[in-house]
Amino acid sequence: MRLDLFLITGAKLCFGSDWNVAPLSPILGIYAAVTRQTLDGKHPEGWFPEQKISVEEAVECYTINNAYAEFAENEKGSITPGKFADFVVLSENIFNIPGEKIKDVEVLMTVVGGKIVYQNPNFK
């Protein structure tokens, strides 16, 4: 499946983190989509590198596109006034670091419905 071709055609590509052959972490899913590298280091140039997508595209696939798929894009999927306040705070801005470093980014806080449901003990 060519992820980049789906996006070029305007398809709403949805990513998930519940597949049993890949890590559950959406951060690692974004890393894989952006770099096409595997965690074992066997594909340093990327596995099918022509299928790399941007960080922005990968984040949209995990957020607004998933909300669209469940007909809920007016309630969630983006940080917009009037929508649910569901988001994470990360240790790095994944939009401003090299793709290869995304795999090392940590979740510092998770907010669901405007309430903190997880906070990394090292995050103040």
More confident residue, 29 or 47: 29
- Mean pLDDT of all residues belonging to the chain: 87
More confident residue, 50 or 17: 50
- The pTM (predicted TM-score) of the whole model is 0.85
The span from the CA of 12 to the CA of 51, in Å, is: 16
Residue 15, SS3 per DSSP: coil
Q: Residue 2: its pLDDT value, please?
A: 67
Amino acid at 26: P
Amino acid at 84: F
Structure confidence at residue 21 as a pLDDT band (50, 70, 90): low
Residue 44 has which token pair?
């340093």
Q: Residue 102: its pLDDT value, please?
A: 96
Residue range 101-108: mean pLDDT, rounded: 96
Q: Residue 30: its pLDDT value, please?
A: 93
Structure confidence at residue 95 as a pLDDT band (50, 70, 90): very high
What number of other Cβ atoms are within 10 A of residue 61's Cβ?
23
Using one digit for the tens of pLDDT, what is the confidence trace for 44-73?
788 888 888 999 999 999 999 999 999 999
Please report, rounded to a whole number, the percentage of residues in the chain having pLDDT higher than 90: 55
